Amino acid sequence: MTQNQSVLEWMEKMKELVCPDRVIWIDGTQEQLESLRAEACKTGEMIKLNEEKLPGCYLHRTAVNDVARVEGRTFICSRSEEDAGPTNHWMEPSKAYEMLYGIAKNSYRGRTMYVIPYSMGPVGSPFAKIGIELTDSIYVVLNMSIMTRVGNEVVKTLGNSSDWVRGLHCKCEIDEEKRYICHFPEDNTIISVNSGYGGNVLLGKKCFALRIASFLGKNEGWMAEHMLILGIQNPLGEIKYVAAAFPSACGKTNLAMLIPPEFYRQKGYKIWTVGDDIAWMRIGPDGRLWAINPENGFFGVAPGTNVKSNPNALATTKSGTIFTNVVHNLDDNTVWWEGLDHNPPKNAVDWKGRPWDGTSSKEKGAHPNSRFTAPAKNCPCISPEFENGRGVPISAIIFGGRRARTTPLVYQSRDWNNGVFVGSIMASETTAAATGAVGVVRRDPMAMLPFCGYHMGDYFKHWIDMGERLGDKAPKIFNVNWFRLDDEGHFIWPGFGDNLRVLEWILQRCEGKADAVDTPIGFVPKADDINLSGLDLTVDTLKTILNVDSADWAKEADGIEEFYQKFGDKLPKELKAELKKLKEKLA
Ligand code: OXD
Ligand code: MN
């Protein structure tokens, strides 16, 4: 397949370690993928779904102890502990290699080693980077071939370069006590053992495109962010792009594929999806910030996805999709999940593989973190720029989280450094995307807490440096919160397509066309400036979620101060100054 010495040498070493019975290079052809699908169905690893209703779609169930990313077992193995920083788990690299090699040793005996050459970003794009993942899982091969560009073209593009990311995945025994997801940023290497769940094993995604890439970005002067990218087309046909960071399972996929409310559709508004999870951003020749989505598919949370919440995502999953840990409807060999519709199947199998009657069962049929892996090209609103290797210019960066109170529907930072502050203090209630308690407020700076591959204080500084380089071409920075609750615990803002009303204000602010109220935390819209046409929400109710409560924010400022202490000397002085300014404004 290749003459590349760095690839051949590493593969030899890995082969000696894991001892596969055979080695198969993934060439990216449909014939090869088809034969792997057939093999996975034969062994029961996957189930072929109804070819008429869901052509080319499959169902897979993970082990019951292996259903989400394991942040507690995810390590940054930089040479110095300080470089991993206070928000990451760290392991000394030689110790980590020794432990991981011990676990991986002979683990491919009786199994096949699949070699997946993949590109993050359109093959050959100046933004793109290449990885090779070794895996003993057909499920991983098939998911990687949806989520990334795989095969011969990638090998050709790599040529003799040694600039690629090494990835070793071993299912081993799916033993959660020996599950480790380890990153060696200085060696461009990822090793993942004892898991078969997406975020832990599709090494191009969180491991490479965020943890390793954030480290590369800092050294090379670009940014790898946990952000969706979408284009907003106005009635004049102009398209403006925004990138938005939200913690896991806070609606990034829904926002990225938003359908404008009727009122906006009639006026001619349209949304184009560039990405739903990860953005790689560089300063372009024109001095603006340009972004690509390094992925080629969507690994979306299934529960809650329906014709109302996200019809585009649903349409995207209608062919060529792998479903993981959802309900299997035995009557018509299709899939179901909570929140899909009000007709759960009676004759079904739940995500654990047990008979399940959705009309009477008290238990959920699909795991809350069950997923679809769907090709981006299926998406009805995929941007015409999706394959464009130069990326799209970003007008605004939006941060957001799930907060029942305190944070208003939207506010704009005063300038770039204040915007970095806003991103650094992001907080959200936890979801099922990672193991651990759900619904607890945790600080998640730029939604990168589980994904930053180096010291978060240095990451903040990198943001500040990028702002300095961008100067007056820098995108404007905003924060949104769709999740404010009323006293009865109901969401006040309708969310979903109506979020376009907030995006419209954001773009108007970028163009200097909308007014705002100056508050201690930044600029908040005048209630009249958010278009409520066609919406059953009064201006007075809107005012309640635009409100900035000084007492709540004084508490918030104390929480920020405590959080910032983690970073010690590495906290950039610019952020210290921003916190001081906030406290002064609140006093
Ligand atoms: C994801 C996550 O899967 O953030 O995108 O957990
Ligand atoms: Mn994500």
Q: Which residues contact 351 (CB under 8 A, 6 or more apart)?
A: 61, 325, 326, 327, 365, 366, 367, 370
From ligand 1's centre to the CA of 578, what distance in Å? Answer: 30
Which is the closest atom of ligand 1 to the Cα of 198? 3
Q: Which residues contact 120 (CB under 8 A, 6 or more apart)?
A: 128, 129, 130, 131, 148, 204, 208, 209, 213, 280, 294, 295
Give me the tens of pLDDT residue by residue for the chain, a chain 587 residues long.
899 999 999 999 999 999 999 999 999 999 999 999 999 999 999 999 999 999 999 999 999 999 999 999 999 999 999 999 999 999 999 999 999 999 999 999 999 999 999 999 999 899 999 999 999 999 999 999 999 999 999 999 999 999 999 999 999 999 999 999 999 999 999 999 999 999 999 999 999 999 999 999 999 999 999 999 999 999 999 999 999 999 887 889 999 999 999 999 999 999 999 999 999 999 999 999 999 999 999 999 999 999 999 999 999 999 999 999 999 999 999 999 999 999 999 999 999 999 999 999 999 999 999 999 999 999 999 999 999 999 999 999 999 999 988 999 999 999 999 999 999 999 988 766 666 666 677 899 999 999 999 999 999 999 999 999 999 999 999 999 999 988 888 899 999 999 999 999 999 999 999 999 999 999 999 999 999 999 999 999 999 999 999 999 999 999 999 999 999 999 999 999 999 999 999 99
CA distance 483 to 481: 5
Report CA-CA distances (Å) from 473 to 80, 284, 476: 36, 11, 9
At position 298, the amino acid (one-letter code) is F
Other CB atoms within 10 A of residue 42 CB: 9
In this structure, which amino acid lies at residue 493? Answer: W
Here the tokens at position 530 are: 């958010």
Q: Does residue 554 sit in helix, strand or coil?
A: helix
The pLDDT of residue 247 is 87
Ligand of minimum distance to the alpha carbon of 69: 1
Say if residues 250 and 428 touch (Cβ distance below 8 Å).
yes
Cα–Cα–Cα angle for 166, 172, 176, rounded to 5 degrees: 105
- Give the DSSP letter of residue 257: T
Pocket test for ligand 1, best of 277, 431, 444 (most atoms within 8 A of CB): 277
- Hey, whose CA ends up nearest to atom 1 of ligand 1? 248
Residues present in the chain in total: 587
Give the binding-site residues of ligand 1, using a 6 Å CB cut-off: 69, 199, 248, 277, 299, 433
Q: How far is the CA of 251 from the centre of ligand 2 (A)?
A: 10
Quote the pLDDT of residue 380.
98
On whether the CB atoms of residues 277 and 228 are closer than 8 A, the answer is yes
pLDDT of residue 365: 98
Ligand 2 center to residue 583 CA distance, Å? 32
Q: How far apart are CA 478 and CA 243, in angstroms?
A: 10
Read out DSSP for 134-175? EES-HHHHHHHHHHSEESHHHHHHHTT---SEEEEEE-TT--
The number of C-alpha atoms within 13 Å of 579 and in the hemisphere containing its C-beta is: 19
Give me Rg for the CA atoms of the chain: 23
Q: Tell which atom from ligand 1 comes closest to the C-alpha of 447.
A: 4
- All residues at 6 or more sequence positions from 419 whose CB lies less than 8 Å from its CB, including other chains: 397, 413, 467, 476, 477, 478
Secondary-structure percent of the chain, ordered helix, strand, coil, rounded to 5:
35, 25, 45
Distance 520 CA to ligand 2 centre (A): 31
DSSP per residue, 232-271:
EE-TTS-EEEEEEE--TTSSHHHHHT----HHHHHHT-EE
Half-sphere exposure of 317 (CA within 13 A, CB side): 28
* Residue of 77, 172, 182, 250 with catalytic role: 250
Mutation test of ligand 1: which of 67, 69, 214 has the most ligand atoms closer than 8 Å to its C-beta?
A: 69
Tell me whether residue 250 is one of the annotated catalytic residues. Answer: yes
3-state secondary structure of 101: helix
Structure tokens at 192: 């993942």
What is the DSSP code (8-state) at residue 447? G
Residue type at 566?
K
Task: Write down the residue that tokens 């939207």 correspond to.
Answer: 410
C-alpha–C-alpha distance, residues 302 and 361, integer Å: 19
Closest ligand 1 atom, residue 69 Cα: 6
Query: Which ligand is closest to the CA of 300, given by its number?
Result: 1
Quickly tell me which residue has 């009786």 as its tokens. 110
Nearest C-alpha to atom 2 of ligand 1 is from which residue? 248
For ligand 2, the distance from its centroid to the CA atom of residue 320, given in whole angstroms, is: 21
Q: What is the pLDDT of residue 434?
A: 65
Residue closest by Cα to atom 3 of ligand 1:
199
Q: What is the pLDDT of residues 408-444, one digit of tens each?
A: 999 999 999 999 999 999 998 876 666 666 667 789 9
Could you tell me if 341 and 168 are in contact, meaning their C-beta atoms sit under 8 angstroms apart? no
Q: How many CA atoms lie within 13 A of 387 on its CB side?
A: 6
